[in-house]
Amino acid sequence: MYNVANVMLAAGVSTGSGWFLDDLVMTVNVKRFLTFGMLIAITLSFGICFERRAGATEWFDSYPKIPWKVESIRLKNLNSFLQNNPETIGCIIYQWTSTDDQKEMRGRAERARRYLIDNLKVDQSRILLIDGKQHSESKTILEPVRKGFPPPTF
C-alpha cells in the first residue's frame, strides 16, 4: 500500500517539517549568492568610473571663461576631491577657438594650476595641464584621473 510518507520519500521530499527547512536553506543560499553578485558589480563599477575616454561628454567640471572668483570655487571642489582620493591626479584641460584664444586659455589653465599648488597646497606632481586642442568654444575642463591610467586625449 502507498501511504503519504512513502510517496513523499519517493518524490525526494522528507517527511515531517524537514522539507520546509531544506527550502528555507536553499532560499537563504540563493539570497547570499545574489547579494554577493551585487557587491561584486558595485565594486567593479567604482573602478570603472575613473576610466574616461576622449569622447566623454560628462566631466568632473567644465566651464567657459568665468570670473576668477567663481573659478577658484570650482578649483576648491577639485582640491577636495583630490584630498579625498589620494590615488588620483587632477587634469586641467583647456580648449580654445583661435591662436590668440589659445594663449589666453593656456594662461588661465596655468593660473589654475598655480592656485592649486601654491594656495591649496596640492603636490605639483598631481596636477597635469593638457591642451584640449582647438574647439568650437573656449572652455576649461577639470578631470580627476586615477594614477597609472592614461589622461584624457584630444
Q: Dihedral through CA 72, CA 75, CA 80, CA 84, nearest 10?
A: -170
Output the pLDDT for position 128. 98
DSSP state, residue 14: -
On whether the CB atoms of residues 129 and 92 are closer than 8 A, the answer is: yes
Distance, in Å, from the CA atom of 83 to the CA atom of 89, rounded to the nearest integer, reads 10
Is the residue at 131 inside a domain?
A: yes
Is the residue at 141 inside a domain?
A: yes
Output the pLDDT for position 32. 75
93 and 65 in a single domain? The answer is: yes
**Total domains present in the chain:** 2
Strands 88-96, 61-63: pairing kind? unpaired
Is the residue at 23 inside a domain?
A: yes
For residue 60, give the nearest of 85, 84, 90, 94 by alpha carbon.
90
Convert the pLDDT of each residue in 82-107 to its tens digit.
999 999 999 999 999 999 999 999 99
Name the more confident of 61 and 12.
61
Output the pLDDT for position 22. 63
C-alpha cell at 58: 560628462
Convert the pLDDT of each residue in 24-45 to its tens digit.
566 767 677 677 766 676 766 6
For residue 113, the enclosing domain spans 55-146
85 and 37 in a single domain? The answer is: no
19-23, 24-28, 52-56, 102-106: which is most confident: 102-106
41 and 115 in a single domain? The answer is: no
What does residue 97 show for φ and ψ, rounded to 5 degrees? -105, -25
What does residue 128 show for φ and ψ, rounded to 5 degrees? -125, 130
Name the average pLDDT for the chain. 83
Say whether pLDDT at 5 is over 60.
no
Output the pLDDT for position 88. 98
